[in-house]
């Protein structure tokens, strides 16, 4: 009995010591409280599978009261938001390929004749089928009831729109998820690798050696991330190979462009990991911060849920995440052969992100023992 009491006292002593350590470790204590609070509030309000206000374009070959009523009714459904006007169907397809819109409607010159005769589809809806969730929402408009005169209800026609899926006519979800998984895997591995790089030097006592060397801060930072760049490119090759072999995901764009985009994204994640390593004191805290950044990247970047379906505040938060910009680039290249010139804003963001965080990490790092 006395042995059990003594054992219990020792256990409580260890628990007390651990609690004191948690209270004094502000970063860990803050993450214990703030991570569930922040993530519950953020994701509870932002995760939304109801697709609304999909950016769309219009090709109106008539432009009269009949077609304006048709466009107005489709806009009122809140499924699409007509933001662009094209002159020809080819121009509309170019807008979709460049990512300026995700869908569009082509209204033919004989739309009224088709409507009143009941022969044929009165219009054609084009949609980027690479995002299967978004495409399913827009495809629902194929049965949209329309009547040019609300007083004549028996003339309302449903199922009078044909739908054409671009880039994924078979509606295979793998075409959307595999390029996204490329970004998610690189985010998880690259941030985690480098977030523990500087911390590991401290824990193993290697900082003493670095103090005695002429290695400068910037040289150390670049030296730390360079090997992982090669590892990241190997991961890219493996994922692309397996994507084609197992999931039949064709790489429509040019491979050099794919690797160039991946290189920028790898550098952005590596410098973010370095930044984390200059903020924390142990590898456990580095892992915690890495996972803290990983979940928002997965949920807000457009990997799992359509970006256009999220509230504006969630989209603004997502715009500061490298994965958001990378998914636009890599899906555009792989699935739609989108030209790099149309994605310069996303490319510039990744390049500046990597440069800024490399500079910040270099400034924060100090070759001295605390």
Q: Are residues 92 and 160 in the same domain?
A: yes
Can you give the CATH number for the domain in which 88 is found? 3.40.1710
Give the model's pLDDT for residue 345.
95
Q: Are residues 63 and 162 in the same domain?
A: yes
Indicate the SS3 state at residue 68. helix
User: In this structure, how many other beta carbons lie within 10 angstroms of the beta carbon of residue 174?
Assistant: 16
Task: Name, of 106-120, 193-207, 215-229, 338-352, the range with top average pLDDT.
Answer: 338-352
| Selected residue with higher pLDDT from 369 and 50 | 50
Q: Are residues 179 and 145 in the same domain?
A: no
Comparing CA positions, the residue from 72, 246, 257 lying closest to residue 174 is 246
Flag whether pLDDT at 153 surpasses 60.
Answer: no
- Using an 8 Å Cβ cutoff, are 107 and 58 in contact? yes
In a domain, 35, yes or no: no
Q: Are residues 94 and 208 in the same domain?
A: no
In a domain, 70, yes or no: yes
In a domain, 41, yes or no: no
Q: Which of 166, 186, 216 is the last residue of a domain?
A: 166
In a domain, 202, yes or no: yes
Q: Are residues 319 and 228 in the same domain?
A: yes
Q: Are residues 70 and 181 in the same domain?
A: no
In a domain, 48, yes or no: no
Using pLDDT thresholds of 50, 70 and 90, give the confidence band for residue 81: very high
Task: Report the alpha-carbon distance of residue 355 to residue 349 in Å, rounded.
Answer: 10
| Selected residue with higher pLDDT from 241 and 283 | 241
4-28 pLDDT, tens digit per residue, is 787 777 777 777 766 676 666 665 6
DSSP codes joined into one string, 191-231:
HHHHHTHHHHHHHTTTHHHHHTS---HHHHHHHHHHHHHHH
Give the model's pLDDT for residue 286.
84
Indicate the SS3 state at residue 147. coil
| Least-confidence region, from 49-58, 169-178, 197-206, 253-262 | 197-206
Comparing CA positions, the residue from 106, 111, 145 lying closest to residue 124 is 106
Q: Model's pTM, two decimal places? A: 0.82
Flag whether pLDDT at 3 surpasses 80.
Answer: no
Mean predicted lDDT score pLDDT of the chain: 84
Q: Which of 166, 183, 218 is the last residue of a domain?
A: 166
Q: Are residues 160 and 86 in the same domain?
A: yes
In a domain, 146, yes or no: yes
Flag whether pLDDT at 368 surpasses 50.
Answer: no
User: Which helix (DSSP H) or strand (DSSP E) does residue 109 occupy?
Assistant: none
| In the chain, % of residues over pLDDT 70 | 85
Task: Report the alpha-carbon distance of residue 277 to residue 261 in Å, rounded.
Answer: 25
For range 54-78, the mean pLDDT: 91
Q: Are residues 73 and 190 in the same domain?
A: no
- Using an 8 Å Cβ cutoff, are 84 and 58 in contact? yes
Q: Are residues 148 and 249 in the same domain?
A: no
Q: Are residues 69 and 118 in the same domain?
A: yes
Task: Report the alpha-carbon distance of residue 19 to residue 213 in Å, rounded.
Answer: 39
DSSP strand pairing (80-85 vs 54-60): parallel
User: In this structure, how many other beta carbons lie within 10 angstroms of the beta carbon of residue 191?
Assistant: 28
Residue 58 has φ and ψ, to the nearest 5°, of -130, 135
| Selected residue with higher pLDDT from 292 and 27 | 292
- Using an 8 Å Cβ cutoff, are 79 and 140 in contact? yes
Domain count, the chain: 2
The DSSP call for residue 251 is: -
Q: Which of 166, 184, 212 is the last residue of a domain?
A: 166
Q: Are residues 223 and 332 in the same domain?
A: yes
Q: Are residues 228 and 355 in the same domain?
A: yes
Residue span of the structural domain in which 88 resides = 54-166
In a domain, 133, yes or no: yes
């Amino acid at each position: 009995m006395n042995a059990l009491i003594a054992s219990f006292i020792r256990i409580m002593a260890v628990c007390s010591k651990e609690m004191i350590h948690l209270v004094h470790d502000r970063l860990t204590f803050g993450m214990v409280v703030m991570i569930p609070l922040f993530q519950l509030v953020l994701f509870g309000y932002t995760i939304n599978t109801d697709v609304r206000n999909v950016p769309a374009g219009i090709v109106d070959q008539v432009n009269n009261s009949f077609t304006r009523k048709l466009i107005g009714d489709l806009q009122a459904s809140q499924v699409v938001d007509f933001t662009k006007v094209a002159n020809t169907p080819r121009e509309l397809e170019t807008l979709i390929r460049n990512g300026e819109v995700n869908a569009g409607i082509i209204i033919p010159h004989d739309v009224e004749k088709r409507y009143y005769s009941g022969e044929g589809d009165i219009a054609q809806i084009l949609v980027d089928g690479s995002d299967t969730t978004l495409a399913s929402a827009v495809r629902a408009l194929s049965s949209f009831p329309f009547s040019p005169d609300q007083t004549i209800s028996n003339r309302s026609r449903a199922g009078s729109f044909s739908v054409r899926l671009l880039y994924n006519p078979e509606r295979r979800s793998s075409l959307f998820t595999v390029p996204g998984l490329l970004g998610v895997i690189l985010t998880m591995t690259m941030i985690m690798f480098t977030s523990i790089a500087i911390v590991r030097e401290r824990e193993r006592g290697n900082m003493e050696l670095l103090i005695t060397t002429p290695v400068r801060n910037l040289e150390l930072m670049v030296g730390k991330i360079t090997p992982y760049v090669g590892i990241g490119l190997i991961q890219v090759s493996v994922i692309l190979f397996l994507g084609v072999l197992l999931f039949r995901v064709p790489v429509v764009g040019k491979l050099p462009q794919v690797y160039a985009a991946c290189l920028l994204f790898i550098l952005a994640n590596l410098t973010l990991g370095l930044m984390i390593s200059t903020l924390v004191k142990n590898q456990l805290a580095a892992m915690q911060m890495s996972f803290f950044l990983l979940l928002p990247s997965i949920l807000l970047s457009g990997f799992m849920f359509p970006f256009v379906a999220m509230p504006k505040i969630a989209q603004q938060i997502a715009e500061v995440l490298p994965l958001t910009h990378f998914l636009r680039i890599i899906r555009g290249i792989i699935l739609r052969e989108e030209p790099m010139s149309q994605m310069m804003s996303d490319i510039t963001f990744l390049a500046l992100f990597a440069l800024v965080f490399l500079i910040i990490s270099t400034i924060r790092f100090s070759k001295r023992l605390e």
